[in-house]
Structure 1
Amino acid sequence: MSEPNPAALPPLSSVDQLWLTEAIRLREEHAGPLDDAEANRRANAGGGDLAQRIQARALWLAQRDGQLQALQHWRQGARLAGLLLMVLALVSGSGLAIAALGNGERPVNLFWALGSLLGLHLLMLLGWALSFCLGSSASVLGRIWLWLSGKLARDAQAVHLAPALLLLLQRQGLTRWGLGALVHGAWLLTLGSALVVLLLLLATRRYGFVWETTILGSDTYVVLIQALGALPSLLGFSLPDAETIRASSNVLAEEGARQAWSGWLLGVTFTYGLLPRVLLGLFCFWRWTRGRARLRLDLGLPGYGLLRERLQPASERLGVCDAAPAGLVEPQAGTLDGASQGALLVAIELDDRRPWPPVLPKGVGDAGVLDSREQRQRLLDQLSRFPPDRLAVACDPRRSPDRGTLALIGELARSAGRTRVWLLPPPAGESLDSQRLEDWHQALDRLALPHAQGAPMTWLETGHD
C-alpha cells in the first residue's frame, strides 16, 4: 500500500465518491478502524460539512489502501461482464428465432413458434413483476452480473465494493430500478436479435404455416389469433382474416397467406415481446437517473457517527485517540501539485547540544525542531494552509531511521512542492556509523527523496544548486 498524493486524486462522480465512502465504512466495520490521522487532518483542512469531510477522508484512504484502484478494476470487470451478457443475449435471441422457424422443410406450427419466441420472456416478465410488487429487488440476471463483475475484477480490495453499492442504492430504493434497467436491456437485445433473425429467415426462405389441434375447433383459433393480432394490427402489422385462419389447419400454398402469417408472427413478437421491454427499460432508467441525483450518505449510521468527533471536534484533544492498525503501512513520500511558494527549513529530533538553526538565507523560513506530537501536528496544519515550494528536512543520521520518522518525512514531503533531506554531519570529534548512514540512504531512496550531507542553503534560496 502506498501513501497517496491528495492533490492528484482523479476526478470521480458523486456516485463514485459515495460508493467508495460506503466501502470504507464496511471495511472498518469488518476489520476495525484504519490508520486515518493524516486523512482526518486533510479532511478537516479542506473544510465543508460533515458529509463532505467524511467523503474526503474516505477518498484519501481509498487511494492509499487501494480501494480506488479496485473500483477502477471493478468497473472494468463490470463492463466485461456486461459485454459477455450482451453476447449471450444476442446469441440466445438468434437461437430462439431459428428454433421457432426450423429449417423450412416442415411447416411451422404457429403456436409452437410463438411459445418458443415469447414463452420464457413472458415467464421472466411475470416473475419480475411479481418480485416488484412484493418489494423485492432480487433479479437473477442482475445478481449474475454483480457476481461476474467481482470475479472479473480480480482485486482483493474489491471485496467490499459490491455490498457497498447495493447498500447505498437500497437506501433510496434504486436497486430495483438499476437492476431492472439491466434486465430489460438484456431482454431487449435478446428479442431484438430474435426479430432481426426472424425477419432474415422469412425473407430468404419459404415457410408454410399451420395450426393444429385435437380438441379445439377452428372458431376457437379464429378468436384467439384475431385477439392476439388486434393490437399489432394497430401498429401496421398484418392480421389474417377468418377464412385464412380456418384454411390454415392445412398448409396453404398461397403467397398472400404466407405473408399474412409472417406479418402476424412478427407483429405479435414485437408487440408482446420487444415493446414491453423497451417501455419498462426506459421507465426503469428514468427512475434510476432521478434517484441517483438524490443519493446521500446516511450520517445516522454508527460508522459515520464515530467520525463526527474526529472530523468536527468540539475541542482539540491530545494524546493517543485511535487503536493501533491491524497492519503497518509502508511510508511513502510524494509532492504537492497545487500552488506553493517560499522556502522552509525544519529539523526532526535534534540533539540539544547541536546549535540550531543555522544562518539562513533571506526569504528562507525556520520551522524549528519537531520533538513532540503537538509540534508535528501544528506544523502539518500550517503546511496544509500555506505549503512551501521548497522544503528542507534536517535529520541526525546518528539516530536510526525508524518508521515514525520516515512517515513524518513522507507526510512533510506531500505538503510541499519540492523536498530535500539534509543528513547533518556529526559534531566535531564524533564519527558516523557507516551502516546506520547506509540505512538512511536506503530508506530515503525508498521514499524517492533527494538527500545529501551538504547544507541545502543555495537550493532553499534560489531553487537550484
Structure 2
Amino acid sequence: MRLREEHAGPLEDSEANRRARADGGTLAQRIQARALFLAQRDGQVQALHHWLQGAQLALAALLLLALLSGIGLAGAALGDGQRPVNVFWALGSLLGLNLLMLLGWILGLLLSRDNAGALGRSWLWLSEKLARDASAAQLAPALLVLLQRQRLSRWGLGVLVHGLWLLASLATLATLLLLLSTRRYGFVWESTILGGETFIGLTQAIGTLPALLGFALPDAELIRASGDSALLSESARHSWAGWLVGVLLVYGLLPRLLLALLCLWRWRRGCAALQLDTELPGYGLLRERLQPSSERLGISDAAPAQLHQPPAGTGPLQSQGALLVAIELDSQRTWPPALPKSIANAGVVDNREQRQHLLEQLSRFPPARLAIACDPQRSPDRGSLALLAELARSAGATRIWLLPPPPGEALDSARLDDWHQALEQLQLAHSDSAPLHWLETGHD
C-alpha cells in the first residue's frame, strides 16, 4: 500500500486511520491495520489471492518443466542402448548444465547484494502474467522490497531454485536407474589427443567421493581397457554404471539438497526477524494521523470497574446498547421523537466535523443496534450513502428510517424509489416506519 500511494498519491483513509487508532497497538501495528483495511476496501486483498493463484500455477509449470528436463537428461546421456555410452559425454549431459548454473548462483551470491537467479525471476514474471489482475502489478515489487531488508529474496528464491534442480536431479537419477535396469549398456571413453593415463587419473579423482559412500570405482586396468572398446563383462558394466550413478548423486543431487536446506534455514530465520521499517518517509507521514502526539503512549493502567472502556479491537460483535441518529434533516422537523431511556440519541449530523465526531465515538463504543433517520425528500448522493455504509460498519445491526414528509407535503415517489434502490445495493435494511421498538428490544 505504501508503494501504491507513492505511485498514485495519498488514498482516502479517514475511516482506515480511525479504525487503526481504535485498535491501538504500536505504530507498526496501526500501519498494518490501516493497510489491511485499505487493501480490503480497494481490492488489493483479492488481487493478492489472484497473484498467489498465478504463483502456484507458475510453480506447477516450473515443477513439470524440471521433471521433464530431468527425464530428458538421463535419456540423452545413455541413448537407446544400440551404441556404447561415452562415459564423459554422459557425465557432461547429466551434470554440465547443473554445475554451470550452480557456479553462476554461487558467484551471484558472492558478488551481488541480492541474487534472485534466472529461475527465480522467471517465476516472479510468470506469476504476474498468470494473475491477470491489474491491481497485482505492484505485489511482486512490494514483495522484493520487503524481502531486501533482511536480504531474504536470495534465500527465498534460492529455496525455489535449488528445489527445482533437486527435483530435476531426482528425476534424472530415477530415469537413469530405470534405463540401467531395463537395458544393456556398454561404456567407453574416447580421445584423440589425450592418453589413457589422463583418463585413469580423472576417472578415479571424480569417483573418490562416491567411493566413500560405497559406489563402485573402476580400477586402472578396466579404465584402460574401456578406451579400446566397450567391455562385454557384467562386472565392467556394473562398475561403470555404479560410478556414473554415484557421481550424479554426489555432485548433482547432494549439493542441491544441502543448499536448499541452507536457504530454507536462512529464510525461516530471516522471516522471524522481519519487521516493518517505520522510519521510511511514507510511514513517517502517517505517524501523526495514526499515533497523535496528544495520545498517551506505552502501557496504561486498567480502567476502573465503574467506567465503560471497551478494550482495543472492539467491533460490532462486542457492541452493546441502541442509538438513534439523523442525517441532514430540515430544521423545521421536530427532532428527536420521544425515546425510551434505553435508546441513546446522537442528534442530527449536518457537517463534516459532526460526522467525524460521531464516527470517532462509534469506533470506541459501537452500538449493538443503530437506527439512522434520513429525509427521503433529499436525493441519495454519494456522500450520504458512503456515510451510511461507514456508520453501518460501526454497529452490530443497522436500519435506515426513511422519514415521512411533514404534514401538508407530498412524498416524491421517484426519489423514494432511488433511496430504496441505493439502500438495497448497500444491503441495508430500511423501513418507512419508526424502528423504535426494534431499537429497544432487538426484534419487531
Deviates more, 1:415-424 or 1:367-376: 367-376
Alpha carbons 2:116, 2:158 under 8 Å: kept: no
Shift of 1:218: 1.1
Say yes or no: does 1:462 pair with 2:441: yes
Partner of 1:6: none
Q: Deviations over 1:136-186 (max 9, x none)?
A: 414110000000111111111101100000011011111111111111111
**CA distance in 1: counterparts of 2:179 and 2:56, whole angstroms:** 32
Partner of 1:358: 337
For 1:68, which of 42, 45, 50 is the aligned residue? 45
Letter in 1 for 2:159: A
Partner of 2:58: 81
**CA distance in 2: counterparts of 1:431 and 1:315, whole angstroms:** 50
Please list, as runs of the form range in 1=range in 2, the aligned pairs for 1:414-425 lying within 5 A after superposition: 414-425=393-404
Partner of 2:271: 292
Say yes or no: does 1:168 pair with 2:119: no
Say yes or no: does 1:441 pair with 2:420: yes
Q: Deviations over 1:344-380 (max 9, x none)?
A: 1111111122111101134111111112222222221
Partner of 1:272: 251
For 1:210, which of 157, 167, 188 is the aligned residue? 188
**CA distance in 2: counterparts of 1:407 and 1:243, whole angstroms:** 88
For 1:191, which of 163, 169, 175 is the aligned residue? 169
Partner of 1:18: none
Letter in 2 for 1:95: G
**CA distance in 2: counterparts of 1:148 and 1:379, whole angstroms:** 47
SS at match of 1:368: strand
Partner of 1:118: 95
Letter in 2 for 1:224: L
Letter in 1 for 2:164: A
Please list, as runs of the form range in 1=range in 2, the aligned pairs for 1:301-450 lying within 5 A after superposition: 301-314=280-293, 338-450=317-429
Partner of 2:70: 93
Say yes or no: does 1:225 pair with 2:182: no
Partner of 1:33: 10
**CA distance in 1: counterparts of 2:2 and 2:388, whole angstroms:** 29
Letter in 2 for 1:162: A
Partner of 1:55: 32
Partner of 1:5: none
**CA distance in 1: counterparts of 2:292 and 2:247, whole angstroms:** 66
Shift of 1:234: 0.4
Letter in 2 for 1:158: A
SS at match of 2:318: coil
Q: Which runs of 5+ in 1 are unaligned?
A: 1-23, 317-335
SS at match of 1:233: helix
Letter in 1 for 2:260: G
SS at match of 1:29: helix
Q: Deviations over 1:392-450 (max 9, x none)?
A: 10011111111111111111100111111101111111112222212111111111111
Letter in 2 for 1:153: A
Partner of 1:127: 104
Shift of 1:80: 1.1
Letter in 1 for 2:14: A
Q: Deviations over 1:182-206 (max 9, x none)?
A: 1111100111100000000001100
Q: Deviations over 1:260-307 (max 9, x none)?
A: 000000000111100100011110110011001111122222111111
Alpha carbons 2:328, 2:349 under 8 Å: kept: yes
Alpha carbons 2:316, 2:367 under 8 Å: kept: no
Shift of 1:337: 5.1
Say yes or no: does 1:142 pair with 2:144: no
Q: How many residues end up aligned between the 2 structures?
A: 423
Say yes or no: does 1:254 pair with 2:209: no
Partner of 2:178: 200
SS at match of 1:338: helix
**CA distance in 2: counterparts of 1:134 and 1:450, whole angstroms:** 63
Shift of 1:381: 1.6
TM-score by length of 2: 0.93
Q: Deviations over 1:71-120 (max 9, x none)?
A: 11111111111111000000000000000000000000000000000011
Letter in 1 for 2:121: R
SS at match of 2:75: helix
Deviates more, 1:447-456 or 1:372-381: 372-381
**CA distance in 1: counterparts of 2:54 and 2:365, whole angstroms:** 41
TM-score by length of 1: 0.89
For 2:218, which of 227, 240, 249 is the aligned residue? 240
**CA distance in 2: counterparts of 1:378 and 1:35, whole angstroms:** 17
Say yes or no: does 1:45 pair with 2:28: no
Say yes or no: does 1:109 pair with 2:55: no
Shift of 1:313: 2.0
Deviates more, 1:184-193 or 1:432-441: 432-441
Partner of 1:177: 155
Q: Which runs of 5+ in 2 are unaligned?
A: 296-314
**CA distance in 1: counterparts of 2:293 and 2:357, whole angstroms:** 17
Partner of 1:7: none
Q: Percent identity?
A: 71
Q: Deviations over 1:199-256 (max 9, x none)?
A: 0000110000001111111111111100000000001111011111111111100000
Shift of 1:315: 5.1
Partner of 1:322: none
**CA distance in 2: counterparts of 1:174 and 1:71, whole angstroms:** 20
Letter in 1 for 2:338: V
Q: CA RMSD in A?
A: 1.2
